[in-house]
Amino acid sequence: MVITTFLVNFIISLKQFLYMSLEFALQSLKRGEFVLLFDSAGRENEIDMVVAAEFVTPEHVARMRQHAGGLLCIAIDHNFATSLELRYMHEILSDSPISNKEMIMGLAPYGDHPTFSLSVNHYQTYTGITDTDRALTIKEMANIFNVENKQKKFASSFKTPGHVPLLIASKGLLAARQGHTEMSVYLAQVAGLTPVTAICEMMDAETYSALSVDKAEKFAKQNGIPLIDGKELLEYAKVN
């Protein structure tokens, strides 16, 4: 009886901790601030800087470039991608007449299909790569979500190839794939925001590899940025 009571109290405390930790992250996203997101040690084992695309400014892009340094991408909800008539790049290439089909990536070393689609620039950008240009591309991508004829607006507003890759979240989100693409879109949905995020992997200039969790935790504390463990997010998703 004592053990049962202890376990119940422990589970309740754990749930309360998860909710508090996640709520901190959700509030940050709602304010247009960053969240750090760790997928898992058994997957990419990487931490991404994440921000809701609807709030992105050139300052956000500059900070991701300086403090993350990986590939800055736009992650979008699967249904939104479908409304834009977007497809995964590996599907596009598989249906193309290129002869070197063996070049097309199947499963990545960590076991998932890549979520890359087209790379785009907003038509009002110049080179497309500056902080100002990429911020415009990212924010305008989020703005299309609330447009009635999404596909027409998308086709008239963006050019490809561009400097910002689009990532399509898997249908079913975390139930289908547990990558940064799905996790960041899920966070935006739970926060009640447009399900479009800007994400960028955090790199380590000292080791020339992905930033370790320990270093990411230190960075998070120094900068007041919440760090979400993918396992915690999956537990929350199961409960909700």
Q: Look at residue 235 and tell me if it is in a domain.
A: yes
- The CATH number linked to 35 is 3.90.870.10
**Where does residue 233 rank: exposed (0-12), middle (13-18), buried (19+ CB within 10 A)?**
buried
Q: Look at residue 209 and tell me if it is in a domain.
A: yes
Catalytic residue among 60, 73, 122, 133: 73
Q: Look at residue 224 and tell me if it is in a domain.
A: yes
- The confidence score (pLDDT) of residue 97 equals 84
- Per-residue pLDDT of 185-237, as tens digits, reads 999 999 999 999 999 999 999 999 999 999 999 999 999 999 999 888 988 88
Burial code of 185-218, b = ≥16 C-beta within 10 A, e = fewer?
bbbbebbebbbbbbbbbbbeeeeeebbebeebee
Catalytic residue among 59, 85, 110, 149: 110
* Tally of structural domains, the chain: 1
Q: Look at residue 15 and tell me if it is in a domain.
A: no
Q: Look at residue 10 and tell me if it is in a domain.
A: no
Q: Is 112 noted as a catalytic residue in this protein?
A: no
Q: Look at residue 74 and tell me if it is in a domain.
A: yes
Q: Look at residue 16 and tell me if it is in a domain.
A: no
Q: In terms of residue numbers, what domain contains 201?
A: 23-98+105-239
Q: Is 229 noted as a catalytic residue in this protein?
A: no
- Per-residue pLDDT of 113-144, as tens digits, reads 889 999 999 999 999 999 999 999 999 999 99
To the question of pTM greater than 0.75 for the whole model, the response is yes
Q: Is 200 noted as a catalytic residue in this protein?
A: no
Catalytic residue among 44, 88, 121, 122: 121
Catalytic residue among 39, 44, 46, 48: 48
Q: Look at residue 3 and tell me if it is in a domain.
A: no
pLDDT tier at 20 (50, 70, 90 boundaries)? Answer: low
